[in-house]
Amino acid sequence: MSETMTRFDDLENSVHQAYRQLTPKSQDWYRRACKSLVAGVSGTVRYYPPYPIYAQSGMGSKLSDIDGNVYIDCFLSGACHLLGHRQADVLAEIEKSKERGTLVINPTYMVELAEKLQRMIPCAERVRFLNSGTEAIMSALRFARAYTGRSKIIKFNGIYHGMDDQILTGLDSRARVLGGGIPEASIAETVLLDFGDLEAIESRLQQEDIAAVLIDPTMHHGGLWAQEPGFYQQLSKLTQQTGCLLIFDEVISGFRLAPGGAQQFFEVTPDLAVFGKAFAVGESLGAVVGRADVMAVCDPSPDRLPGPFAFQSGTCNDASAAQAASFAALTQYEKLGEAGEYGRLAGLAKQLGDGIQQAFSKRGLPCQFKTLGPMMRLFLDDGPFNYAHLSKISKKPINLFHLALITEDVFTLPGSNDFFLSFAHTEQDVEDIVSAANRVLEKYDFSNVLAI
């Protein structure tokens, strides 16, 4: 074993020891949970070594675990709680929804929610609700294929679009599928290209067999390598010229960059868009919105226009609590947008990145960061500042830094390298996170282990 790896193992053991001392009840519950739940959790990303914390509750920008620790929450349940935990208006609307029951067929409330989406989202001429972002992506791709009569989808390396087999490929800079159980046939119609390469995109579109270009405009999974607005506008023109559709995956960007999402932020209107996460602030609800003629493919009524039909349905699409939470959240986003709060929140993210970068720099340690709206990503490297390079560096040091932050009362999810801020976060929260980062770097020697 190399000296660097030995030093890293020693550092990891020190951080793990501090983590275990802080979270003994979580460790006990982890052992119990493993006897019923696979890896003691309900989803792959919820696990991290040596074991995950088990949360008790959340309030505002804070998260409490079963050991009584209170953290500044920068994970926000996978970016769902853009308004912070237990936002008063959201809880009040959910309470009112109980009068309708947990699930009733075709509630009028769904119409009001769809109308609000139409007012806020540029491309939302028609709306369909679903249970999750993954279902929404799956349905949007089906609509695009039905509408165009084509089968292939362009997806970009480094971007994640949910759990469907056909898009669990190319999640890094290599064209690989994520894990087993995904047949080659499932990804045969998925065309992988590099994000931002308009020349390659144009060349591939000219073959005229592409149903849609699917894009997360934030490139969140790859590290927030968003392009300038002109890129998205040019991409829109290219798709129009070649008869395919442009689909914005706004599960991350939706309502986070602006009340009208990435479409408002980048000043471009796609053909279809998909929403989740902050859309229902923790409740299970997604949406596909888009052009009326495209969305008409899922219209089962006798008055529908002639053309192809694409099936889409879901048992809990009208869940009362989820629609209530979404309606209240969207109302808040509109108000926050009018009050200029999106700019304040983006400023806090930049302040956070600057502060943590300075904490590393003053100790002679490399650190770069990217921000987009209220999101921030760290890169513990001083090489070229681009996706091609930084997607290949080891994730072990940054994951250990995130775990060490938990021991200093800041919850970020090791393995994700995300810092998500909510409208409940304050400047004091950001200062406290930076102070926590400084304490981590005082306690633990990250020098000589960043290049493993």
Cα distance between residue 121 and residue 219, in whole Å: 20
Position 450 in a domain = no
Alpha carbon distances (Å) from 130 to 9, 110, 172: 45, 12, 28
Cα distance between residue 378 and residue 380, in whole Å: 6
Residue in the structure block whose two tokens are 């039905």: 146
Q: pLDDT-derived band of residue 6, with 50, 70 and 90 as boundaries? A: confident
Cα distance between residue 62 and residue 298, in whole Å: 41
Write phi, then psi, for 60 (nearest 5 degrees).
60, -125
Position 451 in a domain = no
Q: Are residues 175 and 296 in the same domain?
A: yes
| pLDDT digits 0-9 by tens, 72-98 | 999 999 999 999 999 999 999 999 998
Position 207 in a domain = yes
Position 427 in a domain = yes
Cα distance between residue 237 and residue 242, in whole Å: 9
- Mean pLDDT taken over the chain: 95
Q: Are residues 293 and 368 in the same domain?
A: no
Look at residue 377 and give its three-state secondary structure: strand
Q: Are residues 407 and 291 in the same domain?
A: no
Q: Are residues 133 and 47 in the same domain?
A: no
Beta bridge partners of residue 155, listed in sequence order = 192
Position 452 in a domain = no
More confident residue, 47 or 302: 47
Contact 289, 127 (CB under 8 A): yes
Cα distance between residue 330 and residue 327, in whole Å: 5
Closest to 189 in 3D by CA, of 253, 132, 145, 237: 145
Cα distance between residue 411 and residue 399, in whole Å: 12
Q: How many CA atoms lie within 13 A of 163 on its CB side?
A: 8
Residue in the structure block whose two tokens are 């599960």: 251
- For the whole model, what pTM was predicted? 0.96
Can you point out the beta strands (E) in 177-322? 190-193, 210-215, 245-249, 272-275, 286-290
Asked if residue 452 has pLDDT above 80, the reply is no
| pLDDT digits 0-9 by tens, 154-211 | 999 999 999 999 999 998 766 678 889 999 999 999 999 999 999 999 999 999 899 9
262-280 mean pLDDT:
98
Contact 176, 237 (CB under 8 A): no
Asked if residue 150 has pLDDT above 70, the reply is yes
Contact 73, 409 (CB under 8 A): no
| pLDDT given for residue 303 in this prediction | 84
The residue among 301, 320, 338 that closes a domain is 338
| pLDDT given for residue 173 in this prediction | 66
Q: Are residues 113 and 251 in the same domain?
A: yes
Cα distance between residue 411 and residue 441, in whole Å: 16
Angle between the N-to-C axes of helices 320-338 and 88-97, in degrees from 0 to 180, rounded to the nearest 10: 150
| pLDDT digits 0-9 by tens, 300-335 | 998 887 889 999 998 888 889 999 999 999 999 999
Q: Are residues 53 and 153 in the same domain?
A: no
Q: Are residues 213 and 120 in the same domain?
A: yes
The residue among 320, 338, 356 that closes a domain is 338
Cα distance between residue 101 and residue 121, in whole Å: 29
Q: What is the CATH number of the domain that holds 311?
A: 3.40.640.10
Contact 138, 161 (CB under 8 A): no
Cα distance between residue 387 and residue 428, in whole Å: 31
Q: Are residues 327 and 224 in the same domain?
A: yes
Position 449 in a domain = no
Q: Are residues 333 and 185 in the same domain?
A: yes
250-278 mean pLDDT:
98
| pLDDT digits 0-9 by tens, 342-373 | 999 999 999 999 999 999 999 999 999 999 99
| pLDDT given for residue 172 in this prediction | 78
Asked if residue 2 has pLDDT above 90, the reply is no
Position 58 in a domain = yes
Highest-confidence range of 4-18, 174-188, 224-238, by mean pLDDT? 224-238
Inter-residue long-range contacts of 91-99, CB under 8 Å, 24+ positions, other chains counted: 92/328, 93/324, 93/325, 93/327, 93/328, 94/283, 94/321, 94/324, 94/325, 94/328, 96/324, 97/320, 97/321, 97/323, 97/324, 98/320, 98/321
Closest to 108 in 3D by CA, of 97, 119, 118: 97
Total domain count, the chain: 2
Cα distance between residue 180 and residue 268, in whole Å: 37
The residue among 338, 354, 383 that closes a domain is 338
Exposure string over 348-361, b if 16+ CB within 10 A, otherwise e: bbebbbebbbebbe
Closest to 175 in 3D by CA, of 196, 190, 165, 197: 190
| pLDDT given for residue 1 in this prediction | 60
Phi/psi-derived region of residue 261, left when phi > 0, alpha when psi is between -120 and 50, beta in every other case: left
Q: pLDDT-derived band of residue 3, with 50, 70 and 90 as boundaries? A: confident
Show the domain range for 271. Answer: 88-338
Q: Are residues 109 and 246 in the same domain?
A: yes
129-144 mean pLDDT:
96
Cα distance between residue 306 and residue 293, in whole Å: 11
Q: Are residues 63 and 95 in the same domain?
A: no
Position 264 in a domain = yes
Closest to 395 in 3D by CA, of 412, 426, 417: 417
How does DSSP classify residue 297?
A: G
Q: Are residues 18 and 140 in the same domain?
A: no
Q: What is the CATH number of the domain that holds 358?
A: 3.90.1150.10
